[in-house]
Structure 1
């Protein structure tokens, strides 16, 4: 695999810069001029890579969902024990959300700004992502000699709520690394499984 192209590097710079600004100022309050200035590009150069602000937002959403689904599937296929799969999924979710806090804040707070046709795609991708969790919980319950009495959907939504909400309160200078925080949240979230 070769080195990323200059165009890929510039797009990455723009997406990361836009996520940071959107997370601080909000999507609507941010202009293309501000994005260009933040990443050290002229406005015409920025428009060479992205036609408008909406295209940047769409790319951010597509990236978050695609990465989340791909990573969840990879983890679920690489580990046999369903409880361990759930543990790894939650640790990964927390760690990724902490490490890419800006983009996740945008993801969770700017959905109403998406074009209508993309909203359905995001919902479908989210469903696919949650299905990975539901499948693992059902596998665990089916294999358990004395399964706990839990509602699978409520359980999964509670786990994901705990994992996703860290974008609101995680501080990089806090007492835990993203990995440590992920392990701790996974421990608490999976406790009902025994």
Structure 2
């Protein structure tokens, strides 16, 4: 073996990678918390570095810009929502069952991830136009799916015929997306209980039964 080169299974490079990954995640977590507490515009990369005990220049070892930091934080949340949305979308459940699972899951997920959900629903407007379109396009997919499930359930006789599917869709997401504003982990209802309660409110209002 050539001197000075680590063997492929040498644990030292792997440890360095793990340390770098851990440190980068700390940067993301700290940035998310500070953006949440202070607002994106009011937080600088120097503030983030100081919180972590890093010089401003050292922060840029882990990220390219403050904008990239926000986008990655928003995308992490985005990826989580996409995972359960795709699973529900691909299932063979009835439209009503899909609505039930999406409302329950999305409400609980928003409440359980208050810091990132808050940034996802508010600070995303600080992203550049191309990145904003990524967020808008994903939200539109969710809205189209819910509207189509309501229409299918209407055709099956499970949703009141006088329901406006588009308006009902806006109402559902308006309710679910508001959770980050008021939910508190130490409150009298858990995230899952809030999700279940929201689901019953929506479905009982739509149901023909």
Q: TM-score range by the shorter chain?
A: 0.7 to 0.9
- SS at the partner of 1:104? helix
Any idea what the Cα deviations from partners look like across 1:38-84, whole Å, max 9, x if unmatched? 34544343211111111011112223333323321212323512112
Offset of 1:146 from its aligned partner?
A: 6.9
Q: Gapped runs of 5+ residues in structure 2? A: 1-16
Deviation at 1:150, TM superposition (A): 1.1
Mapped partners of 1:132, 1:14: distance in 2? 35
Question: What's the TM-score once normalised by structure 2's chain length?
Answer: 0.82
Change in Cα spacing, 1:37 to 1:29, as seen in structure 2 (3 Å) is: same
Structure 1 runs (4+) deviating above 6 angstroms are none
Aligned to 1:69: 82
In the alignment of these two chains, the number of paired residues is 191
Q: State the structure with bigger RCO (CA 8 A, min sep 6), 1 or 2.
A: 1
CA RMSD, 1 decimal: 2.1
Partner residue in 1 for 2:101: 88
Question: Which stretches in structure 1 are left out of the alignment for 5+ residues?
Answer: none
Q: Select the structure that is richer in helix.
A: 1
Query: Alpha-carbon deviations, 1:73-114, whole Å to 9, x = none?
Result: 212323512112111111111111111101111122213311
Change (3 A) 1:146 1:58: closer
Change over 3 Å in CA distance of 1:9–1:43 after alignment to 2:
same
Q: Which has the larger radius of gyration?
A: 2
What TM-score does the superposition give when structure 1 sets the normalisation length?
0.88
